[in-house]
Amino acid sequence: FEHNQQQDCQEFLRHFLDALHEEAKKTTQNESNLDLVKQHLMGTCVHLSKCLTCSSITKSQDLFYELSIGFHEQSSTNDDQQKIFDLQSLIDHTFAWESLINENQFACDKCGKKEDGSRRMFLTSHPNYLVLLLKRFVHNHLTGKYEKCLDRTTLPEFIQLLTVNETFISYRLKAIVVHHGLSMNSGHYYAFVMINNDDLIDKNNNNSIGWWLFNDTHVEHLTYENVYAHFQRFPSATPYVLIYEKQLQEKETETTQLSIVPYLQTFVDRDNQLYTQEQKRRGRSSRSADVSDVNEPYLRNTGCKDQSPDRGPPCIF
């Protein structure tokens, strides 16, 4: 990355994740769970290509950090003469069968030449955090330059991805990386991040729940409506990279246990031991049940349990 030039945040993210992944692979086998990139951000996909002449199918498998989502006319509507793209429709189109005809014919090994065909992508493993790249920078064949697509998109709180078993996995919006500018060679990047109760170490710190703006040194707590109003106020500020968190199914939530990095487990065990000793020293062990009963109404009143983060209606960005 050269200095004093506009860079693509997606390219930087990919470079950063690659570097983290390579460093994590150098660790010992017992510390393999330090590879957070592989655990939480890496998924696998299968590309199927079918020849329409001989019906042969070829398959290839790839790893991915992010999914590129293109803008397709059939996924748009018009509002006050401006196109609005539905994100879920764009995602569904990405995983639909694509025709390979004319100059995009399929090179069939069995036929030994290019033939009409079709192809489709399936996800075989779904990352805990799904990174979506909205392909806003498109090449203009007339000018030979890349131009930015300023059309608006819906950003639903929840999206669904189809699995190879024809079932759906739900994801929830966690972060929006914004490009504020008119071209890929200029502009500014900042992010909106959702923090909910599960993200907090201090479960009583409800003031941190909601959307946050991270813009260089400026950090601000916002509502979902504030985020929506921001995009309405600045048309050249557009969502570019989206991060969604996988929602566990009810069955998974009950049975899944999180593994802890070994050196963190040591700190947890030591802290638990000190806590137990302190309880015994002060003679509070016998009253722990009463304390729990007294605190229960307080936790309910403060929203510490089952607290839903600030959410608003589906908005257009």
137 band by pLDDT with thresholds 50, 70 and 90: confident
What backbone torsions phi and psi does residue 210 show, to the nearest 5 degrees?
130, -165
117 burial class (0-12, 13-18, 19+ CB within 10 angstroms)? buried
Among the listed residues 42, 41, 43, 47, the one whose alpha carbon sits nearest the alpha carbon of residue 122: 47
The rounded distance, in Å, linking the Cα atoms of 244 and 131 is 7
Place of tokens 């890349």: 146
Q: What does the pLDDT read at residue 254?
A: 37
CA distances (Å), origin 5, targets 25, 29, 185, 190, 229? 32, 40, 8, 17, 30
Mean pLDDT, residues 37-56 taken together: 88
Q: What does the pLDDT read at residue 32?
A: 54
Q: What does the pLDDT read at residue 127?
A: 92
Other beta carbons within 10 angstroms of residue 267's beta carbon come to 11
The helix or strand, by DSSP H or E, that contains position 30, with its residue range, turns out to be: none
Q: What does the pLDDT read at residue 258?
A: 41
Q: pLDDT for 15-31, tens place per residue?
A: 788 888 787 777 655 55
Tell me the torsion sign for CA atoms 308, 311, 312, 313. negative
Rounded percentage of the chain residues whose pLDDT exceeds 70: 67
Q: pLDDT for 228-250, tens place per residue?
A: 889 889 989 999 999 999 998 65
Q: What does the pLDDT read at residue 142?
A: 82
Q: pLDDT for 162-199, tens place per residue?
A: 877 778 899 999 999 999 988 877 889 999 999 887 76
Contact by Cβ (8 Å): 112, 103: no
Contact by Cβ (8 Å): 308, 150: no
Mean pLDDT of the residues in the chain: 76
**Confidence check: pLDDT of 224 > 60:** yes
The rounded distance, in Å, linking the Cα atoms of 51 and 213 is 48
65 band by pLDDT with thresholds 50, 70 and 90: confident
305 band by pLDDT with thresholds 50, 70 and 90: very low
In Å, how far from its chain's centre is CA 217?
A: 24
Residue 282 structure tokens: 């002060």
**Confidence check: pLDDT of 294 > 70:** no
308 band by pLDDT with thresholds 50, 70 and 90: very low
Q: What does the pLDDT read at residue 41?
A: 86
Mean pLDDT, residues 90-95 taken together: 91
Specify the higher pLDDT residue, 271 or 89.
89
Q: What does the pLDDT read at residue 262?
A: 46
Q: Walk me through the domains of the chain, giving residue ranges and CATH numbers.
A: 9-263 (3.90.70.10)
